[in-house]
Structures are given as C-alpha cells and as structure tokens.
Amino acid sequence: MDTQKALFVQRLKAFLIDFCIFALIPIFIFNVVIVLFFDFGRLYMPMIYGVLAVVFLLFGFKDIFMGQSIGKRAAGIAVRDASDNAVIPSASRLFLRQILTLLWPIELFVLAFSRDGRKIGDKIAKTDVFSLRVQNRHNQSARSKKGIRSVLIVVTLFVLVLFLGMSISMRNHAAFHVATDTIREHPEIVAAIGEIQSFGFFITGGISTSGNHGNANFTIRARGSHGRGRMYVRLQRHGGTGADWEVVRLEFVQTH
C-alpha cells in the first residue's frame, strides 16, 4: 500500500478521537458512576490515581493492532517504522512511543513545530505516522477541511461531555444536597422567588477533600413558583467519620 507522511490535521483528528474514547470515557465513568457510590473522602485520591493508570494503559496499547488506534483508522493513518514505512513496529515499540502520554500538551507542541513532524515518543521509539492513502492536492485540501471540521466537532463534544460529567458528579455529591436543602428552606429566597420547583441542570463550582475535612462551592440557578434566582454557596466539613457538610456562606441574586 502506498504511504506518505500523515498531515498534522490528520494526527490531531486521530488524537482527539482517541482522547475522547480512551481518556474521556473512563473519566466520565469515574465522575458519573463512582461518585454515585462514594463520598470522596480518603478514597478520592486512590481513585484518581487508578483512573489515570487506566487511561495511561489504554493509551499505551491503543495502537497495538496494525499500528492503528480507533482514531488513526478514522483518519486513515498508521504508525510505521521511521526508516521503512512498510514495517509495523513491535508491540513494545508501539507502547514505548506513548511513554509521554500524560504530557500530551508538550508532545502536541513538539509535533506541531518540529522539523520532521515527529513527536518525542516517535523519536524515542524510532517510529513515524503515515497516511495510508496517497491523494492529489485537491483531495488533500478537501480532506484537510473535512478533518478540521471533524476536529472541531470532537473538541465541542469533549467540552460538553466533560462539563456534563462534572455537573452530574457534583449534583450527586452530599455537599450539593446540603446546599440545595438549605436553599429550599431559606426564608429570603423563598420570599423572593417562591417555593423552589427546580434547579438548573448545569452547575459550576468545585469540591476538595482531605480525609474527613473538605471544602465545596457551587453556583446554582433555581426556578421558583414566581421567580428565578442564582445562588453562590460555600460549604465546609470538619470532624470525624460521618461528619456532615455545613453551609458557611450563601449569596442570593434574583434573576429574570
């Protein structure tokens, strides 16, 4: 099969597709499923390390079949030996080229600006990435535009799914339930917008814990029986096992 050096846009498209499949999905599962059954605490960091280990292994072996991952197959490219593009590298070399996977921003920068168009992992493993279809300039241009559109779609989906996963995980956290219960019972809020009927699906904020101590903050939108409002809630947790979250700050702004 005729081959030529893969275009940067092809490699970027393949990377983003693989990133969604091999990184985003495990992280999404962690946010949506694991958090439903665990209230962070001491298990949080071990679970984070476990998810990162799974992501690293998935990326390490993603090109194991014929030098092509799912993303590379979609982009029409494959990993080959740098000195002979007809040779498929061994499994160990395919894994070795992913050794800097967790430093992907650096790898992407090197790939974009290096003279030979190879990332650091390719140089270590003596590999390169080639397109499996030789095309004329017109077809290359059309394919590049299609590739750019695909990249934009993947990036948009990545951002939406990541934001969705974060929102779902926070909505299922004990701190969020304490915050919403406090909002429902707050006399000033009830007087301004009425009985709370629903909260906005997307929320922003963050949760950090260390042992049985923790801090959380949320920006929550709510719809009442005769108005709408936006609340900023800050919570803390101190004490031994089973300690409850406590609201330490609540700000309310009525919206339209």
DSSP code string of 5-57? EPPHHHHHHHHHHHHIIIIIHHHHHIIIIIHHH---GGGHHHHHHHHHHHHHH
Q: Are 36 and 172 in contact (CB under 8 A)?
A: yes
Mean pLDDT of the region 199-222: 83
Sorted by where each starts, the structural domains of the chain and their CATH numbers stand as: 4-167 (no CATH), 173-255 (3.10.450)
What is the phi-psi region of residue 211: left when phi exceeds 0, alpha when psi lies from -120 to 50, beta otherwise? left
pTM for this structure?
Answer: 0.56
Higher-pLDDT residue of 39, 124: 124
Confidence of residue 10 (pLDDT cuts 50, 70, 90): confident
User: Distance of alpha carbon 253 from its chain centroid, rounded?
Assistant: 31
Which tokens belong to 153? 């779609």
pLDDT (tens digit, 9 = 90+) per residue, 39-75?
555 555 666 677 778 888 888 899 999 999 998 988 8
